[in-house]
Amino acid sequence: LRTTPLFLSPKDLYTAPDSCKGRCQEPYSPEDECHCNAECERHRNCCEDYYRHCRDEGFSSSWDAITDQELLQVSEQLYKADHNKARPTDIAINPQYQASPDETGDQEDRSPQPLYKYVNEKLFSKPTYASFIKLLDNYQRATGREEDVTAEELREQDNFLREVMKTELMKKLFAFLHEKNRYGSEQEFIADLKEMWFGLYSRGDGEQDSSGFEHVFSGEVKKGKVSGFHNWIRFYLLEKQGAVNYFSHNFEGPWDTYPDVLGLQFSWDGFYKEVGSAFIGSSPEFEFGLYTLCFIARPGRACHLSLGGYSLSIQTYTWTKSTYGDGKKYIATAYVISS
């Protein structure tokens, strides 16, 4: 599948990994930024070119490898299992101006009206939405400022994970990853979700100032620009408060129902986001599940999926500067790219 990027290169956020050229099956060393032995797939710390140099025979050579075809199949299953998504009558958006590629950096508001004309806020009383929304105000958006995580915020994380794991969608995702020998039990899966998404690391000078969840869903400000912020619920709530100003969109997905996909330009309290790709109308568990699937199956690479018969890809990056557990990597970011 050919991918058309909807995003800017995030080079200023992530260190470039080393190459696996000439390093296949090299013994693990904690000093290495990325690895080239058979265990790196399980720990999500392979170099980006591991598959090219060390796995020429392809994914199907390993009994628990996740093949491209299986990704297409399981993503369709998750799409069908998103029972909490918005119905067509729940949301009305007004995309207005479509920006060309050379206009996305202009920081010019070409859409006088808000993006959201209407959202049925009864959606937000569903348990996964309600528990998700409680997490959004737990973060200092500026990188370089230490996160002060309270006992209440830890309970909110646990509650969100408990609610999403009640859904058919996340149960299907766990069953698939269990079958692929990634997790031995649901408890192990939930514990790993908490670490990979909510575990803190430093995007600044050593402060525990960031996490995958904060970056992807809540959004951050780094070097005067919006970083991450790929969630429609967060956008809607801030736009309603007057904190977000929608400028334009550069991509609209082919779906005639929800979840749809939009690539958009906006300002958040004066900080600009040049291209923020996001699902529109999906449940929190849908995004959380798809990003998790792609982070586990294709870390650092385009992850090709199928949703309602349409092709879509998700890009994830691992955080290369710190680890948890036995060398596992945190989520640095995850977002939609068109395909």
Q: What gap in Å lies between CA 308 and CA 263, rounded to an integer?
A: 19
Is residue 273 part of the annotated active site? The answer reads: yes
Question: Could you check whether the bond before residue 259 is cis, i.e. omega within 30 degrees of 0?
Answer: yes
Choose the catalytic residue: 43, 222, 273, 329. 273
Choosing from 230, 249, 304, 329, the catalytic residue is 230
Neighbouring residues of 16: CB distance < 8 A, sequence distance ≥ 6: none
Q: What DSSP string describes 80-146?
A: HT-TTSPPTTTEEE---PBPPTTTTTS------S-SEEEE-GGGGGSHHHHHHHHHTTS---BTTS-
Scanning 283-327, the segments in alpha helix (DSSP H) are 284-297
3-state secondary structure of 34: coil
Rounded Cα distance between 134 and 288, Å, is 15
Q: How far is CA 50 from CA 21, 168, 201, 273, 325, in A?
A: 8, 34, 25, 32, 22
For residue 226, the cross-strand partners are 221
What's the CA gap between 78 and 64, in Å, rounded? 20
Given 43, 85, 180, 215, which residue is catalytic?
215
Structural Rg of the chain based on CA atoms: 19
Whether 261 and 278 have beta carbons less than 8 Å apart is answered as yes
**Residues with catalytic function:** 215, 230, 273
